[in-house]
Structure 1
Amino acid sequence: MTGATMAHQDRYGLPLSTASDAAASAYREGVDLLLAGWTGTAEALERATEADPDFALAHIARARVHSFYQQGELARKRAGLARELVAKRGTERERSHVEALALGVEGRLPEALAVTLKHVETWPRDAVVLALPLGAFGLFAFSGMADHDRARQDLCASVAHHYGEDWWFLTLYGWAITENGDVARGRAMTERGFGLKRENAHGAHAVLHAMFEDGSIDEADRLIDEWIGGYDRSGILHGHIRWHQALGALEYGNAARALAIYADVLQPSMTQAPPLNVISDGASLLWRLSAYGHAVPKELWTEADAAAQKLFPKSSIPFADVHMALFAAATQDRDALAARLAVIEQRLADGKLPAGPVVPAICRAMTAFADEDFAACVRELTPVLTDVVRIGGSHAQRELIEDTFVVALMRSGELARARAMLDARLHRRPSLRDARWQATLQ
């Protein structure tokens, strides 16, 4: 490395190839905000690149933020610049760091995961890279693996001794444990991390997932009410956290409140969320409302579908495709669904769909459900229910598929199977309400 000192470090003690105090300070701030899902991330990283235009790590971090908002051209341009800069002025760690993030920005997910896991073995305290496989939209979740929840927990366990009581690590490790089934332990760890830093949207979000899993609906509602006022509406998780609140309302059968939350922060004309959250939160909430027997104004579907088609006009990751299928099914857009299904099935035939047959099966099942062919919906989903995890996302998000299956069982007369599934869920979450099923059971 030439042209810079190694005096500066990130918050985790890793050297930074910049001689600028201002660039290093702004980068540290930007990374903390990035890890917290907090507002001001992009601005801090821009200050870092302005203070030192040759600072590769600041450019690649900015590229990652661009990619969250599907600003593909800007993200790829920044990633390319970061690669050029780090080759001229960067350590081995920084070159590997840039490569892992750049591959993710470029959508080369299997390569990004391989580079990331190798990187973490050598530099376990490189939190920005460690973050890539974690979370509901991380590289593990979108890998098509059936055991990605276990993989997240195992990865965190392997590096935990490097982090100690770090607020960011505890919240992500705790969430991984929660998603992998040990909810009590996961919640305790996540709450410990969140307690260390309350200005942490990812921490609040992880706690809400634990509360969802153990059925603490009222407690989750209070947490959101108490906490959300300090989090700007432009925050990357603001709308999604309110989506959790809407799910809680539906547990009580309170459709009016769920629709009010939708109108406030999830509707396309109101949301400031990243595109993937726009389509998944909007589609899943409207679908749940309808499936639970509540009226959903047609214009809400029409407006949301129009916005979704602009954001995801072509087949992409399975998690997005499944939610786009909800729009197509709800709006009876046969042509859109047929075109997307054709691409998905071709990718499956070519061996390029790691998630496997579950993806087209879900798409067909949702169409059958919307057509009120509930027996066909049951037939499509029965053989793939255990593989739904392969589409990625969180358990709370994927429960939409299970809910649809339960309602289809009810409406096709298979009440015993439906009750067995609900009993299993109540055993998992004993404080869960059943108001949302009443309209269906009647």
Structure 2
Amino acid sequence: MTDQDRYGLNLSTASSVAAEAYRDGIDLLLSAWTGAAEAFDRSIAADPEFALSHIARARIHTFYQQGDIARKKAALARELVARNGSERERSHVETLALAVEGRIPAALASALTHIEVWPRDAVVMSLPLGAFGLFAFSGMADHDQARVDLCERFAQHYGEDWWFLTYHGWSLTENGAVARGRAITERALAMRRANANAVHALLHAMFEDGSLADADALVTQWLPSYERTGILHGHIAWHQALGALEHGDASRALAIYADVLKPTVTSAPPINAISDEASLLWRLAAYGHAVPEDLWAEADAFAQKCFPKSSIPFADVHMALFAAATRNHAALEARLAVIEQRLAEGKLAAGPVVPQICRAVGAFAERDYPACVRHLEPVLDDVVRIGGSHAQREIIEDTFIVALMRGGEPARARGLLDRRLLRRPSPRDRSWLAAAIA
């Protein structure tokens, strides 16, 4: 009898041990749980010719920016699947290999073509989804809607599957259907508590609907069950720090940073680590709280090792925060020069919003608030193009609002705050609104 994955797709391995370890690894991968890499390693040990375990292992290497070994494993997977794999597995490997190689447009096109034929290939289906998925990093302005459309088109193929519900719910939340998204995500978490992706998605829903107490309680109750090496451990704690900042509790936010997020303690993948560190420290400073210079210096040194060159816009924007906060004008100008060259060559899918954000945060750090406003105002509607989640991108709008208030334009800040408070209750926004009115 042919082994299958949990979605009923055949696996080209003669080893039941390899198949079982692969199934375990995929569930751990789809739930952002610890042990996925080890499961794929067990599968490879049981059947070194099984291509799907090699390409899955390569994907985990990419999370941690282990590019050389990831590409080697992708190349091996291509070779193995060409000899031993089915048509579905060859397409699966090729799609993931393109993603491993950072070829985002090609990987996205391949993924969308693949799931038309094999809609229950959850690993390929997962690639366009999420805040760091292929849609989010495509430069599209409507990637939130694209994720909803994708999920709703293929929902009939998944039913009450805990992984699919997690991402369907989160996609709805990010696209503004927060109540429906939260309800679906809560169903997913009830089905599998060992699902960091569901907790993460639920925290986003709670951020959007203003349920700060619910979010704080969820993190406090759930996080101890998740190992600190879990891929989302630090980011889930980051959400709790955001809640603390909503109430003006800088001491608690800094304590969370010191315990979980700072470079010497984090086990997060580089993109998670540097974005969480930069955005939390920037928020603290922008909201008027003191941030020790050594925290910025330590985090910046770590980030420079992770992203020494311009890469995806989401990373570049956070690297700009580091450069601006540490007054490293040379680093900011050097990164800007590369970004603008890519823009001029038509190689920056996200467009002018990327260099404009970089210029704006540089101006903000120099307290040139009118210049910050001038740089950001024309591109505010395009910030979505950098990818990430709404909660992560809100830092740019926050910077704009603070620049308006400090630059002598409280009436314009009031208008933005009024609209945000209609969308979600926020103690911080209410306090800012009161200050703007005063």
Same structural fold, with TM-score higher than 0.5 when normalized by the shorter chain: yes
Change (3 A) 1:50 1:330: same
Structure 2 match to 1:387: 382
CA distance in 1, matches of 2:225, 2:65: 26
Cα deviations by residue, 1:63-104 (Å, 9 ceiling, x for unpaired): 000000001011111101000000000000000000010000
CA distance in 2, matches of 1:71, 1:78: 11
Matches within 5 A, 1:161-180: 161-180=156-175
1:296 equivalent in alignment to 2:301: no
**TM-score when scaled to structure 1?**
0.97
User: Structure 2 unaligned runs (5+)?
Assistant: none
From 70, 77, 98, the equivalent of 2:72 is: 77
From 3, 7, 13, the equivalent of 2:8 is: 13
**Structure 2 counterpart SS, 1:210:** helix
User: 1:290 is aligned with what amino acid?
Assistant: A
CA distance in 1, matches of 2:426, 2:5: 43
1:284 equivalent in alignment to 2:279: yes
* Pairwise CA distance, 1:47: 0.2
From 112, 117, 130, the equivalent of 2:112 is: 117
Determine if contact 1:293/1:440 at 8 Å carries over to the other structure: no
Cα deviations by residue, 1:256-300 (Å, 9 ceiling, x for unpaired): 000000001110001000000111000000000000000000000
Determine if contact 2:313/2:354 at 8 Å carries over to the other structure: yes
User: 2:365 is aligned with what amino acid?
Assistant: A
Determine if contact 1:132/1:138 at 8 Å carries over to the other structure: yes
**Structure 2 counterpart SS, 1:138:** coil
Change (3 A) 1:413 1:85: same
User: 1:287 is aligned with what amino acid?
Assistant: W
Structure 1 match to 2:141: 146
* Pairwise CA distance, 1:433: 4.5
From 217, 221, 231, the equivalent of 1:222 is: 217
* Pairwise CA distance, 1:392: 0.2
Matches within 5 A, 1:1-400: 7-400=2-395
Q: C-alpha root-mean-square deviation of aligned residues, in Å?
A: 1.2
- Identity value in percent: 72
Cα deviations by residue, 1:10-61 (Å, 9 ceiling, x for unpaired): 0000000001010000000000000000000100000000000000000000
User: 1:266 is aligned with what amino acid?
Assistant: L
CA distance in 1, matches of 2:274, 2:33: 21
User: 2:170 is aligned with what amino acid?
Assistant: W
Determine if contact 1:211/1:219 at 8 Å carries over to the other structure: yes
Determine if contact 2:421/2:430 at 8 Å carries over to the other structure: no
CA distance in 2, matches of 1:58, 1:66: 12
Cα deviations by residue, 1:214-233 (Å, 9 ceiling, x for unpaired): 00001000000010010000
Determine if contact 1:183/1:210 at 8 Å carries over to the other structure: yes
Determine if contact 1:252/1:436 at 8 Å carries over to the other structure: no
**Structure 1 counterpart SS, 2:248:** coil
Cα deviations by residue, 1:96-126 (Å, 9 ceiling, x for unpaired): 0000100000011100000000001000000
CA distance in 2, matches of 1:358, 1:377: 13
CA distance in 1, matches of 2:268, 2:93: 26
CA distance in 1, matches of 2:3, 2:209: 43
Cα deviations by residue, 1:313-356 (Å, 9 ceiling, x for unpaired): 00000000000000000001111111110000000000000100
1:410 equivalent in alignment to 2:405: yes
**Structure 1 counterpart SS, 2:322:** helix
* Pairwise CA distance, 1:431: 5.6
What is the aligned residue count?
Answer: 437
**Structure 1 counterpart SS, 2:343:** helix
* Pairwise CA distance, 1:420: 1.1
User: 1:234 is aligned with what amino acid?
Assistant: T
User: 2:65 is aligned with what amino acid?
Assistant: Q
**Structure 2 counterpart SS, 1:19:** coil
CA distance in 1, matches of 2:302, 2:223: 26
Cα deviations by residue, 1:163-206 (Å, 9 ceiling, x for unpaired): 00000000100100110111111111111111111100000000
CA distance in 1, matches of 2:57, 2:427: 41
* Pairwise CA distance, 1:436: 6.6
User: 1:395 is aligned with what amino acid?
Assistant: H
Structure 2 match to 1:3: none
Determine if contact 1:214/1:431 at 8 Å carries over to the other structure: no
**Structure 1 counterpart SS, 2:166:** helix
CA distance in 2, matches of 1:419, 1:266: 33
